Amino acid sequence: MLDGDKNLIERAIGGEAEAFGQLYDKYQSGIYRFIYLKVGLREEAEDLTHQVFLKSWQNISGYNFKGFPFSSWLYSIARNQVIDFYRLKKEIVRIESIAELKTENDSQISLDKKTDLARVKNAILELNDEQQNVIILRFIEDFSISETALALDKSESAIKLLQHRAVKNLKKIIDG
């Protein structure tokens, strides 16, 4: 963990709202992106992101430094919020677009790249929920195996196996 993060977290644990605000600014876009990729609706993703940070602020005093990034704790809360969202909704919501989350200027994307992104997006939709989580955290959010394991409350070996199966399934789906 970066010393700056540790200092901010310690200050936030002490009740300093400004420090928590800086943590929010640092991690909000990644948490939003993760949730958006899981629920596929902007409004819902914004609401759930807000709930994640509200819960983290309410529970920051229970946060313990375990050698993992603060973001792993936030992604764990986000994952639980998404699960609760689907329990309440009881309907399937699909991802709108991965391309719009990862590119600054859509006009610079070639037609081939747009087609490839659409194929990958559709392939990800065919994975089960656990495999989707691993793919999003490992390859879109660039989490390490240990960070992913912590965020998803699984062992590192389980994450490696899920990742292997997810990549294998993606290849099979894309190759058709």
- The tens digit of pLDDT for each residue in 68-79 reads 788 989 999 999
Domain count, the chain: 2
Give me the mean pLDDT over the 39-65 stretch: 91
**Which among 42, 67, 96 is the end of a domain?**
96
Angle between helices 42-59 and 70-89 (to 10 degrees): 130
Q: Are residues 69 and 155 in the same domain?
A: no
**Class of residue 114 by CB neighbours under 10 A (exposed 0-12, middle 13-18, buried 19+):** middle
CATH number of the domain bearing residue 120:
1.10.10.10
Give pLDDT, residue 155.
94
Q: Are residues 75 and 157 in the same domain?
A: no
Give me the mean pLDDT over the 25-31 stretch: 94
CA pair distance 26, 12, nearest whole angstrom? 14
Which pTM value belongs to this model?
0.65
**Which among 64, 96, 128 is the end of a domain?**
96
**Class of residue 120 by CB neighbours under 10 A (exposed 0-12, middle 13-18, buried 19+):** middle
Give me the mean pLDDT over the 38-48 stretch: 90
Residue 175 lies in domain: 101-176
Give pLDDT, residue 139.
85
Q: Are residues 105 and 151 in the same domain?
A: yes
